[in-house]
């Protein structure tokens, strides 16, 4: 492999990892807010 190709794979991996971490934090924040602020009078 060429070094440019290896560097591009590394940059892509870091970007995908960053997106995954952001989505996990965002999901956790939504879950936390959903537990803290339950809608009232909602029947399931």
Q: Give the pLDDT confidence score for residue 41 in this predicted structure.
A: 66
Determine the pLDDT at residue 33: 93
Cα→Cα distances 10→4, 18, 22, 23, 36, Å: 10, 12, 18, 20, 39
pLDDT for 44 equals 54
* Per-10-residue mean pLDDT, the chain, length 44: 92 97 97 87 60
By the 10 Å C-beta count (0-12 exposed, 13-18 middle, 19+ buried), 40 is classed as exposed
Task: Locate the domains of the chain by residue range.
Answer: 1-36
Surface-to-core class of residue 43, CB atoms within 10 Å of its CB (0-12 exposed, 13-18 middle, 19+ buried): exposed
Confidence (pLDDT) at 32: 94
Element (H, E) at 40: none
For residue 28 the two structure tokens come to: 């956790």
pLDDT for 13 equals 97
């Amino acid at each position: 492999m060429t070094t440019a190709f290896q560097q591009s794979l590394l940059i892509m991996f870091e970007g995908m990892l960053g997106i995954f971490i952001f989505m996990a934090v965002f999901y956790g924040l939504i879950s936390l807010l959903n537990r803290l602020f339950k809608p009232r009078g909602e029947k399931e």
